Amino acid sequence: MELYPNIRYDIVGEGELMVPLKELVADLGLKDRVIFHGARTKVNIIEFYRNADIFVLPSITGSDGNSEGQGLVLQEAQAMQLPVVATLHNGIPEGVIDEITGYLVPERDIEALKTKMKYLIDNENVRRTMGKNGREYVLRNFDNAVLGEKLELIYSEILKLY
């Protein structure tokens, strides 16, 4: 018997790894559970957030040293009150508070990723609390008005030096 018979994993976006990822999903017999949606508009993406329980962003450093930045999608997901499971990768830790707004796991540590996802699936209250914390964190630190005020203060301090 399956542990989570109703789980579905929606993948939104495109990239060079899409084809091998689709092949892996087919090989594992997960086509009915892992759905590839390709690139979507902002309106469509908001619907994915609304219908999700957890946001997962497992990033890795490429063999050529290439890595992702901080990832605006992390703030979008948290603003929509989704707990995040992401990797300790490049700028990602700048946008997620480990154990408060979500979980950060080491790159390529599939066991840790699985453990944190399973924990959130099994603990609705933790999901809700982390989701609420994430929204508050984003509003306090990433809202355009807040960022504008911070930038204005920086410029004011610089002007005082002259």
Summarize pLDDT for 60-115 with one digit per residue, the tens: 877 787 877 667 899 999 999 999 999 998 889 999 999 999 999 999 999 999 99
The answer on 90 and 65 residing in a single domain is yes
Which tokens belong to 17? 């790894």
Is 118:150 a contact under the CB 8 Å cutoff? no
pTM, to two decimals: 0.88
The answer on pLDDT for 28 being more than 80 is: yes
Residue 127 lies inside a defined structural domain of this protein = yes
17-30: average pLDDT: 94
Residue-range definition of the domain harbouring residue 13: 1-39
The answer on 101 and 68 residing in a single domain is yes
Q: What number of other Cβ atoms are within 10 A of residue 118's Cβ?
A: 12
Output the pLDDT for position 1.
40
Read off the pLDDT of residues 125-145 as tens digits, 9 standing for 90 and up: 999 999 999 999 999 998 888
Residue 45 lies inside a defined structural domain of this protein = no
The answer on 84 and 35 residing in a single domain is no
If one compares 159 and 101, the residue with the highest pLDDT of the two is: 101
Scan for tokens 């960022």, then name that residue: 147
The answer on pLDDT for 15 being more than 80 is: yes
Give the CATH number of the domain where residue 136 resides: 3.40.50.2000
The answer on pLDDT for 46 being more than 80 is: yes
Sheet strands (E) in the chain: 9-12, 34-38, 55-57, 84-87, 102-105
The answer on 78 and 26 residing in a single domain is no
